[in-house]
């Protein structure tokens, strides 16, 4: 990583890391990163527990991109590199209007010792569903909910047909791309960082290891069991519940409490939170969030119900 910064800014990140064990992500804007300093980091546009998403410029073609950077574990370097290769293979063959386009993936060592894994994808001008819900205070028109959900449904049907499960569908991983020229809007699913091929059993996730997000991961996912596309249906149901009600489907003061609520299917009925929702839509969401995956509907059933129940002629 080539830090073209003042002297104190070049050495301060290393000092912070040595003292705290944390990467000072906020010090990276303005730096060059990647092979031969290919990416110029501009600003932070998103954050998560283990990394950040930056707006950056790819010097190869001067294109504005989104650069997701996650700290790796040098002790499991081969595993990390295998994850990147796997994700690259998944991304490389996915092409759909409702999926963010991936450009490249790889890893680099920063500050002389920290393994960082990166994903370069298209920069999406717009906002994610969490921002949409916050700005609307949870009062989304049901026809808008249907239009968003139907595009998510199309994207999931496509990736599942390609043998891929997302495993981390949530409001922050669903964006609305706003065209800067005509203002048209398109839903884009992003961040396939923990996606997996349905037929893949490579050991990249250790037995009993849980990956996903509290409140959106299916019960079988929380238990560390083998999962299939029905786990994405559960996550989609949690997102749909939130779009309709403006509230999380499962509440709790900690990740552990939220996961307990998921396992117990402890949530308020939609009719108790928002009036006027067609009963067939409420029943649909309840089935999508059923702890028994055998009882969850197919995406085709989800799409059909949304089209007939929420879209006004």
- Select which of 32, 58, 128, 168 is catalytic: 168
Phi-psi region of 215 (alpha: psi -120 to 50; beta: other; left: phi over 0): left
Among 31, 48, 35, residue whose Cα is nearest residue 120: 35
Provide long-range contacts, Cβ within 8 A and 24+ apart, for 278-281: 278/309, 278/310, 280/305, 280/309, 281/244, 281/305, 281/306, 281/309, 281/310
Q: What residue has token string 């609305």?
A: 176
- Active-site annotation holds for 191: no
In angstroms and rounded to an integer, the radius of gyration of the C-alpha atoms of the chain is 20
**In sequence order, what DSSP letters do the residues of 221-289 get, joined into one string?**
HHTT----HHHHHHHHHHHHHHHHHSS-SS--SSHHHHHHHHHHT----HHHH-TT--HHHHHHHHHHT
Q: In angstroms, rounded to a whole number, what is the distance separating the alpha carbons of residues 126 and 198?
A: 31
- Could you list the active site residues? 168
């Amino acid at each position: 990583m080539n830090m073209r910064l003042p002297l104190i800014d070049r050495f301060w990140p290393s000092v912070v890391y040595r003292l705290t064990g944390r990467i000072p992500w906020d010090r990276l804007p303005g730096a060059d990163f990647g092979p031969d300093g290919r990416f110029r980091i501009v600003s932070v546009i998103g954050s998560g527990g283990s990394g950040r998403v930056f707006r950056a410029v790819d010097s190869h073609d001067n294109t504005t991109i989104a650069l997701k950077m996650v700290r790796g574990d040098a002790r499991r370097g081969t595993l990390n590199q295998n994850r990147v290769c796997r994700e690259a293979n998944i991304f490389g063959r996915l092409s759909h209007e409702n999926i963010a386009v991936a450009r490249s993936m790889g890893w680099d060592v920063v500050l002389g010792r920290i393994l960082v894994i990166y994903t370069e994808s298209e920069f999406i001008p717009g906002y994610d569903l969490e921002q949409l819900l916050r700005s609307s205070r949870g009062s989304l028109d049901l026809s808008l909910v249907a239009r968003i959900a139907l595009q998510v449904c199309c994207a999931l049907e496509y990736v599942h047909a390609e043998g891929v499960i997302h495993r981390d569908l949530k409001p922050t991983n669903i964006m609305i791309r706003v065209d800067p020229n005509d203002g048209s809007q398109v839903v884009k699913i992003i961040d396939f960082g923990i996606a997996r091929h349905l037929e893949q059993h490579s050991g990249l996730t250790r037995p009993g290891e849980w990956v996903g997000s509290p409140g959106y991961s299916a019960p079988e996912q929380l238990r560390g069991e083998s999962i299939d596309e029905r786990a994405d249906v559960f996550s989609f149901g949690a997102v749909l519940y939130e779009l309709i009600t403006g509230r999380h489907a499962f509440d709790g003061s900690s990740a552990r409490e939220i996961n307990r609520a998921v396992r117990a299917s402890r949530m308020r009925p939609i009719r108790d939170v928002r009036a006027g929702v067609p009963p067939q839509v409420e029943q649909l969401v309840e089935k999508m969030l059923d702890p028994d995956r055998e009882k969850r509907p197919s995406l085709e059933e989800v799409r059909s119900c949304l089209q007939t129940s929420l879209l006004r002629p």
